[in-house]
Amino acid sequence: MIDMLGRADAIPLSKALELLNNTVFAAPAIEKSPIEDTCGRILAESITSNEDVPHYARSTMDGYALKAEDTFGVTETLPAYIKVTDEIIMGKTPNFHITHGEAARIPTGGMLPSGADAVIMFEHTQPLGDSDIEVLRALAPGDNVIQKGQDVSNGTALLCRGHKIRPQDMGALAAIGISEVLVYRKPIVSIISTGDEIIPPSMQINGAQIRDINSYNLSGLLLNNGATPVRKGICRDDYDAIRAIVSDAIKTSQMVLITGGSSVGTMDMTERIINGLGSPGVLFHGVAVKPGKPIIAGCVGGVPVFGLPGHPAAVTVSFEVFIKAAVVLKRLTGELLNETYHPITKARLTSNIASQPARTDFIWVKILNKDGGLYAQPILGKSGLISTLVTADGVIEIPADRRGLEKDEEVLVRLF
C-alpha cells in the first residue's frame, strides 16, 4: 500500500532486524597491539597460558612458613613451640629447608621454602625470646598458601577471540608473560550531515538555519561503542555532491551514516544514491517505529550504509536499535555477539503512556528514586527536541502488540 506521500508501508521492526542480521558485512581487519593499549579493544585471537601462575607456592599472609603437621591439635591453651631458623626475602629463592619444629619468617607473596606447606599468621603466634615462637592455632596443609599454578595453570584457556579486553584482562595477560596481542582494528565510521539548512556549531544562525547536532551526537555514540568516528562535514542537498562524498566514504570506512536525507520529499536522494553505488543496495526504507520511522538501511560491497532521520531523538533511537542493539557495530568490531552488556534497570511508570498499534514506540524516561523504589517518568516531546535527550536517563520500548503502558506497570529501562 502507498500512502499520501508516496511511501510504501513501513516494515515491522522484527523484519528490519532480520534483514540486517542476514546481510554479510566485511570482516574487520586485525593488528598487533601492546597490552597497555588494549583496554576496550576486541581480541582477534584466543589466549592460552603457557605457564603456571603463580610460578611457585607463595604466602598470602605475613607470618611464618612451617610444616602444618607441627600444629595438629594446637589450641590457645595447648600451644606448639617452634624455632624460627631463617627469613624469606621478597624476590629471593630460599636456599634452605624447613624440618620438623622449624619455621621461617615470610612476607605476603614470599616464596615458600622447601619442607614448608603452610603459613601461620603473626596474629596467631607469640614471640618467645629471639628465635622461638608459640603457635596458638592449628593449621592444615596449604593454609594461607597459593600453590604453584593455583591461579592459572599451564594450558588453561584464559581469554577467547572476540572478547572485549578489560583492565583485569590486561593484568592477566601480563601475569602469563604476554606483552602483545592481536586485536581487531577499530572500525572507521564516516558521518555525513546533509541539508542546505545545516551549519557548523561555530556559526551564528541566520534565518531558518539549524546547527549541526547529529554528527556530534553520533560521534559520541560511536566512541562509546568501540568505533572511530570521522565527521565528513556538511553536504548541501545536491545529488552529485552527496553521491561523491558517500562513494568516497564507502572506500575508506567500515560503515557510513548519513543524517538528514531519509525523509520523503524532493530532496530525498539517499535511497537512490545507495542503490546506485553497489549491491545489495537498500535493504529497507521505513520501519514501523517511533521515532525513526523513515530510516534507510543498506549495504554496498560489505559496508553498511544508514540514512538516518534528521531529528536528534530519532537519530539516537535509530542508532540504539538498528546499529547497536542489532549488533551491526559488533560485527564490525569483531566482538562476540553473545557478549551483550546493556545496562538495564527495572522501574515502575509514573503515568500512563498511549501507543499506536502495529508500531514499536520508544519513549525517553527519567529515573526517579522515591518511596524506596525506582520510577520511570516519561519525557514526552517531539523528536526534534534535543532537550528531551539531555534530560533522559534511558529509554523504554512499547512493543507493536501493545496499545500502551499503564501507570505503576513495571518496565525495563535501557540506560544511556
- Tell me the per-residue pLDDT of 299-334, one tens digit each, with 9 for 90 and over: 999 999 999 988 888 899 999 999 988 889 999 999
Residue ranges, CATH 3.40.980.10, the chain: 13-29+186-333
Query: Regarding beta strands 404-405 and 353-354, do their DSSP bridges make them parallel or antiparallel, or are they unpaired?
Result: antiparallel
Q: Which three cell numbers stand for residue 305?
A: 550504509
80: three-class secondary structure by DSSP: strand
Looking at residue 196, what is its pLDDT? 86
What is the pLDDT confidence band of residue 276, given thresholds at 50, 70 and 90? very high
d(CA 365, CA 89): 59
Q: Provide the 10 A C-beta neighbour count for residue 292.
A: 26
Residue ranges, CATH 3.90.105.10, the chain: 31-49+159-184
The mean pLDDT of 47-67, rounded to a whole number, is 96
Looking at residue 1, what is its pLDDT? 38
Percent of the chain with pLDDT over 70: 94
* CATH code reported for the domain at 13-29+186-333: 3.40.980.10
Residue ranges, CATH 2.40.340.10, the chain: 344-415
What is the pLDDT confidence band of residue 381, given thresholds at 50, 70 and 90? confident
pLDDT > 70? residue 341: no
Quickly name the fold that domain 344-415 has: Beta-clip (2.40.340)
d(CA 316, CA 265): 22
pLDDT > 90? residue 389: no
User: Tell me, what amino acid is at 152?
Assistant: V
d(CA 98, CA 243): 80
* CATH code reported for the domain at 58-146: 2.170.190.11
d(CA 217, CA 313): 10
The mean pLDDT of 154-182, rounded to a whole number, is 95
3-state helix vs strand vs coil in the chain, percent to 5: 20, 35, 45
Looking at residue 383, what is its pLDDT? 62
Looking at residue 6, what is its pLDDT? 45
85 to each of 71, 72, 88, how far by Cα in Å?
A: 17, 20, 10
Domain 31-49+159-184 classified CATH 3.90.105.10?
A: yes
Instruction: Tell whether omega for the bond before 280 is within 30 degrees of 0, i.e. cis.
Output: yes
What is the average pLDDT score of the chain? 91
pLDDT > 80? residue 7: no
The lowest-confidence range among 27-41, 188-202, 332-346 is: 332-346
pLDDT > 70? residue 387: yes
CB burial of residue 268 (10 Å; 0-12, 13-18, 19+): middle
pLDDT > 90? residue 81: yes
What is the pLDDT confidence band of residue 360, given thresholds at 50, 70 and 90? very high
Residue ranges, CATH 2.170.190.11, the chain: 58-146
pLDDT > 70? residue 254: yes
Looking at residue 384, what is its pLDDT? 62
Confidence (pTM): 0.81
DSSP state for residue 163 in the 8-state scheme? P
